[in-house]
Amino acid sequence: MMDWITKAVFYHIYPLGFCGAPRFNADGERVNRIEKLVDWIPHLKELGVNAVYLGPVFESSEHGYDTKDYYQIDKRLGDSHAFRTVCGRLHESGIRVVLDGVFNHVGREFWAFRDVQQNGRGSRYCGWFHNLSFGGGSPMGDPFWYDAWEGHFNLVKLNLKNPEVVDHLLGAVGSWIQDFGIDGLRLDAADCVDPDFFRRLRSFCKEKKPDFWLMGEIIHGDYNRWANPEMLDSVTNYECYKGIYSSHNDKNYFEIAYSLNRQFGDGGIYKNIYTYNFVDNHDVNRLASVLRNPEHLENVYTLLFTMPGAPSVYYGSEWGLPGIKENGSDWPLRPCLDLHSLPPVNEKLSRHIAKLSRLKEMCVPLQTGDYRQIVVKNEQLVYRREAGGQALYTALNLADGPASLGFGVTPGKVLVDVLNHHQVFSPVNGSVELPVEPYSARVLLERDASEIHLPEAVDFAAPPIRPQEVEPGLYRHFKGHEYEVLGVARHTETMEPLVVYRDPQDHQKLWARPLSMFLETVNAGGRCQPRFQKL
């Protein structure tokens, strides 16, 4: 398994919506909208994101999945130079780039299909499309028939048995790797794609870039059919997507516990697959609109980030933004967002996700750990991840009242809550009794009892101090006041990093604020801006 994917925290963007592109790609001038993404890089870094999955960016007729040309950036987003700039800036910031690979079908404006429309039987491209024949007409009025994706005849199925088609697609992927330096592909409608094509694609990509990542969109079926040493590296974990939100809505952790154990427990059927995990995306209603109780938002993300696999956050959902399909349309799920004029947002949720991202980066058990269930109740769940000689427990309580969860720990160990101020819980007779507040969770690292009083032990998963981001000097608070930052200190009990600052006119007035709050962005008067801006 490639190293970078085990530490990956994905941010999923649907570019046409995110950038505010027109819904239809009418003939018109090319407009550079994609570079908007560069302005979001500081936010991505603050959130702890180190990989982005971008929906379709290549020339299409409407929504991106109806490709017109695999070798051209959609004119509604910009051009190759603009996209190369975006990918370069992301890579400079330590953020990998994964693109949507839509290879099962194309749009009706795809150049080879238009040649068939114009030249009929005389077109040399008739063999490019699956089951294209002149024995009858299509529902779209063509004098020929062709296969479509799930009955949507604006999406024409490609013939992936045709070597010319395969060469055309692999040539496009090769250009994306060479020109943009992409790090992986998410394969659309993977269950409909010829397995032999995936075998060719894997060989082609891995030869060019050994750590290239291939992930397939799979909604139903055995994930092992697609994610295996011959084909793809990973798949979308739709089983757990459903189980995560419905177990909270139904106050029934048995549901998600069953899926997690089935997939990753002892004898789990997907223990060898590093699944791509999510709680919403461009095709399904947003989490904040699906959860019946918004108090469960933080627990949902805690579960997402601590279960086996790679977590993904859909753009805007880190702030709990709502979104529901309307009249069968997905466009309400794919809004244009402006960092400087966001709607009312849940900053507490965003900070929570940022904290989880740091834990994912630093805790080996969250990267490659085995999964074992410890406590399963309707409203409480505890599971254990272990790797590299380290063990970590996630304890969740979805109830509206406090819970006390008892379970055994390794002899000679104590538990440090690395999610909540590094509280220490010592076992009595080999067991710990763990209090968990309503609608909350604990993430606990096992540490040697003899070491727990050492600063480095408590400091293991503390948010990293970034001195370059809080250099001493004058800063302006978003309300207008100016302060002099002296430096960053650690809380003696919790080891939480604190920014120390004072009134430049009265040095007797000293303040200390958590580093995470000092660096965060706030929404003031409808405008998104840093809480403190260096002068």
pTM: 0.86
- Return residue ranges of the chain for CATH 2.60.40.1180: 367-458
Distance CA 294, CA 279 (A): 14
Q: Which is more confident, 519 or 134?
A: 134
Mean pLDDT of the chain: 93
* Of 21-35, 53-67, 429-443, 466-480, minimum mean pLDDT range: 466-480
Instruction: Report which of residues 525 and 145 the model is more confident about.
Output: 145
CATH class of 367-458: mainly beta
Q: What is the pLDDT confidence band of residue 478, given thresholds at 50, 70 and 90?
A: confident
Counted residue by residue, the chain has a size of 535
Give the model's pLDDT for residue 458: 37
Closest among 226, 312, 356, 304 to 53, alpha carbons compared: 312
Q: pLDDT for 205-257, tens place per residue?
A: 999 999 999 999 999 999 999 999 999 999 999 999 999 999 999 999 999 99
Comparing 438-442, 458-462, 481-485, the range with the smallest average pLDDT is 458-462
| Mean pLDDT across 362-376 | 97
Q: By mean pLDDT, which of 86-100, 383-397, 417-431 is the weakest? A: 417-431
Q: Where in the chain is the domain with CATH 2.30.30.320?
A: 467-534
pLDDT of res. 400: 97
Decide if 440 contacts 397 (C-beta within 8 A).
yes
Q: What one-character DSSP code corresponds to residue 74?
A: -
Q: What is the pLDDT of residue 524?
A: 63
- Give the residue-averaged pLDDT of 65-80: 98
Half-sphere exposure of 72 (CA within 13 A, CB side): 12
CA-based radius of gyration for the chain: 25
**Distances from the Cα of 352 to the Cαs of 318, 400, 401, 482, 514, in angstroms?**
9, 19, 21, 28, 14
Question: Rounded to whole angstroms, how far apart are CA atoms 254 and 258?
Answer: 6
Higher-confidence residue: 175 or 327? 175
The mean pLDDT of 310-320, rounded to a whole number, is 98
456: pLDDT strictly greater than 60: no
With a cut of 60, say whether residue 471 has pLDDT above it.
Answer: yes
Q: pLDDT band for position 493 (50/70/90)?
A: low
Residue 317 reports pLDDT greater than 80: yes
CB of 220 within 8 A of CB of 192?
A: no
What local confidence, expressed as pLDDT, does residue 87 receive? 98
What is the CATH number assigned to the segment(s) 467-534? Answer: 2.30.30.320
Q: C-alpha dihedral over 155, 157, 160, 164, to 10 degrees?
A: -70
Residue 88, both tokens: 């370069």
